[in-house]
Structures are given as C-alpha cells and as structure tokens.
Structure 1
Amino acid sequence: MTFKEKLHAGEILYGLTLTLGSPKIAEIIAHLGFDWIWIEAEHTTMSLEDILSQLQAVNGTTTTTIVRVDNNDATTIKRVLDTGPDGIIVPSVNTPDEARQAIKALKYPPLGERGIGLGRAQAYGQTLGEYIKTANDKLVTLFMIEHITAVQNIEEILAVEGLDGVIVGSLDLAGSMNLQNDLGNPLLEIEVQKVLAACLKAGVACGIFVGNAQQAKFRIDQGFRIVTLGADVFLLATAAKSALDLVKAT
C-alpha cells in the first residue's frame, strides 16, 4: 500500500521533520523505516535546490516525501510540486476559502488550476502524460491547522474536496490564543481535541507533532494517525548533549 492508501485506511504513519536541508541526513532517515519525512521549507533557509537534493537522496527508498511550503501561494506550490515530492503540507489554512485556494494550486483541472511543467516530477517531460493523469490521485495533500480561526472553521475545511489529512500545529495555535509556548494549557488541549473530533467524524486523518515515545502513544490512543516524532535538530542536540553529559559523569 502507498502512504496515501494507508492514510485513508486509518493506519498510523510515523514521520520525522527535516530542517537542516541536508541530503545526507534525508538519506539516512529514509533508510531507518520511517513512513515519511517532512521537509520543512517554511521555517528554514531551504531553497528549491535544497528541496530537490533531499528528494533525490531519498529516491529508491520506501519513505514518502512531503514538503511543507512556506505559504499558500499558487506559484510557490507549483514550483515545489515540480521538484517531485509525494505530497505537500500547506501552512495556516484557516478558512474554507483558503482550503479551496490551496486545492486549486495543488491539483490539475478539473479539480484545480495547477499549471503543467517539465520538472523532476514529470521526469523532465518524459512521463508528462502519465503524470498529469495520475497526479491528482497520487499527491498527498495535508493542511496545517494552527490558528484558532482554523479550529472554528474545521468542519468546513475538512469538507473541501481533495484533502487527505490535517496536522495540528500546537505552537502556533497556542500563540493565536495568547498562550505562547504553553503547550500544557488545558485551554489549548480543548481546541486540539475539537480538531481531532471533527476529523474522526469526517473520516479524515489527523496528525500532530510529538516529542517522545510516551507522547506518541498518548496521541495515538486518542486517535491521531499522522505522528511526527520530532525533528532532526532536536534529535541531534539531544544525542550530543546526552553523550557529553554521560562522559562528564564518568
């Protein structure tokens, strides 16, 4: 089964966020058994070339590649799609109109208005016809729900045709509620649970970022199915600090 098929079948899918733009790190992670990697282009200095090199490094593995673009802009989305990722995460989708705007950029007609390119996604023109026929069905389309306005509109957002799943962005959601970085606040958890409940009702996969295995189990038991197990920078820093602390203690 493909990542998208597993997503719609209700399976749990484990991913890792890559922020450093290194094709070597992407290649290492892709061989570890993760279902997908989240290439983070919104809050990093990544260029299209950086995205492309990571996708090329992962080629030939079973790991699905999903890029979070930096905004809900048709030209930005189009250019990233032509580098050939398996899916796109659109940030800050707060209204049904913004959801439809994203779908227009992500999908070819008649569902959307995506333009036709000759990039890596289309084997530089060699598989253009087949790609155009299958891209709408194959592309994984995820929206970030990371503002209180998005929570208020969640049922209408989930009803937009072409969406495969959403991911709760707890940090920004907390900020939109004037609860900056207070991830343990019960008021924040109420809103997170509203998103999850709406997804379960609509039959749409819901994802979340977790910091450790205990948090992952807790969220999976609640019903989250797209689980992001941290980020490259956190894992690198944690492992390095642990090694340093251990050697100093001996």
Structure 2
Amino acid sequence: MKNFTHIKSKLKQRLKDNELTIGSWLTIPHQAVVEILSSADFEWLTIDLEHAAVDIETAQNLISHVQANGMEALVRVSKNEEVVIKRVMDAGANGVIIPMVKNVDEVKQAVSYVKYPPFGKRGVGLSRAQHYGTAFESYKKWVQEESVVIAQIEHIEAVNNLEGILSVEGLDGIIVGPYDLSASMGKPGMFDDDDVKEVLNRIDTITLRMNKPLGFHVIDSNHMKMMEKIKKQYTFLAFSLDFFFLGDMARKEMKLLKGKLQ
C-alpha cells in the first residue's frame, strides 16, 4: 500500500526555503470538491475541523483523496489539544495548522503533540499513517523530518509574543487569521482600522526580519488579492475556500445573465 505521508514533503522544503507555496481550504466534506480543486494546481489543501462540519472519519477520507490527487493534506484542527492532533496525524495528514496559539509554550505543546518521543510526546498508535502497522519505522522517521506544523496567528497576545513563537524548534511557519485577530482587538473585521493595520504590519515586519515563512489566508476569491500578499513577500498562502469559489462564480455569472435579460 502506498502512503503519501512517507514521501519527502515538497511543502516542508518550500517552507524551509521560504519559497512561495499556494493552497486552499476545504469545508465541504466531499471527495468531488477535492478532485475539482486538484485541477486548479494547488499544492496543498487544508481540511477545516475548527469551523466546518467535518468529523475524524470524514477527515481521513478527505486526507486520502487530497494526497491521491497529488497534493499535500493539512488539517486545521479544532484546538491545540493532544487527542485531535494525534488522531489527524494518525489518519495520515501531512501536517496541522494550530488555531489561536498565543505564546511560546502553546506552540511547543503543539509541536510535541505531532512528534514522537524523544522529540515530542505523541502517543504511538497504528493506523493509516503507519500503513496499519506495517511501516511504523519509516513513518517514525518521516514524522520527525517531514511533518508540517503551522501556528495560526489570530490573537493580539500572539503578536506580542511573535518573536518567541517564530523561534520555536519544530515550527514550520505561521498563517495570519485576520478575522479573529481583529476580533481580539475588539474590532472584528475592521481591516481598514489604523490599529488593525498597524498590528498586521507588525507581523509582516517581525516575520520578514527573522526570515521565517509568512502566511495568510486570503478569503477573497479574486486573484489580485493574492497578488497583494505576494508583493508583500508572503510565501505561505491559502487562496480562498471551496464555497467562495463556488458561490462567487455563480453569483457573478447570474448577475451578468439577469442584466442581459432586463
């Protein structure tokens, strides 16, 4: 049985080299969505366990379909918690995105939940990732060298601790969650507010100065919004999400059609 998690990670290498890598976000739990998005040449997809109606069984199926379609599978877990991280990694995920981390200790905790002892404290189980018990040794080496851990910076406390967070061994990069970040400042969704702009600029400055991968989830399905981030030297970019790609095109074309019918 071939398992994509035992293959050297192109995403991991791009993060190490701070090279541009573009993925997207899965909230609709169906393999057809994975197959459709794979035709767009994304390098990775993130399965959302925090806000989407996706359970662990569905997550494992989506992980396998993402990998079978030539992409790497990340999972944005529901929280920085040992069991959920262990389960998605055992399901074969290439890595995890950890929401709402606020300080160095929380990032170290997340890394430890991904890695086996002596590097971490993840419990050992045999499931899809370990080829159902037939390839534990190769997986043990893979998870230490190739698994991906991303911290989601979406709280003002995390910004205040950003230098320390970026210095944690085993962390591969960060991704900014702009909605929750602005909400933690009492200004949810107010991206034109001067204070919110200053905080976002501070993240850019610190991360670029430390030569670490700078990530952002660009919700808008307009590629020009992605270009804005690329020009600002963001390298780990999530481009929109499944239901916006679907809904935006449907609304746009129906609006144009109705205009011609009037």
Aligned counterpart, 1:58: 66
Shift of 1:23: 1.5
CA distance in 2: counterparts of 1:54 and 1:12, whole angstroms: 24
The question of 1:248 aligning with 2:254 is answered no
Aligned counterpart, 1:46: 54
TM-score (norm 2): 0.92
Which residue of 218, 225, 235 corresponds with 1:225? 235
Provide the identity percentage: 34
How is 1:1-250 mapped onto 2 (pairs within 5 angstroms)? 2-210=10-218, 211=220, 212-250=222-260
Shift of 1:32: 2.2
Shift of 1:77: 0.5
Secondary structure of the structure 1 residue equivalent to 2:68: coil
**Corresponding letter in the other structure for 2:100:** S
CA distance in 2: counterparts of 1:99 and 1:56, whole angstroms: 27
Secondary structure of the structure 2 residue equivalent to 1:89: strand
Shift of 1:52: 1.1
Contact 1:24 1:57 in 2 (8 A): no
How many residues are treated as equivalent by the alignment? 250
TM-score (norm 1): 0.96
Q: What is the CA deviation profile of residues 142-190 of structure 1, one whole-angstrom value per residue up to 9, with x for unaligned ones? A: 0000000000000111111100000011000000111111122232121
CA distance in 2: counterparts of 1:177 and 1:168, whole angstroms: 14
CA distance in 1: counterparts of 2:151 and 2:181, whole angstroms: 14
The structure 1 segments of at least 4 consecutive aligned residues displaced by more than 3 Å after TM superposition are none
- State the Cα RMSD in Å: 1.3
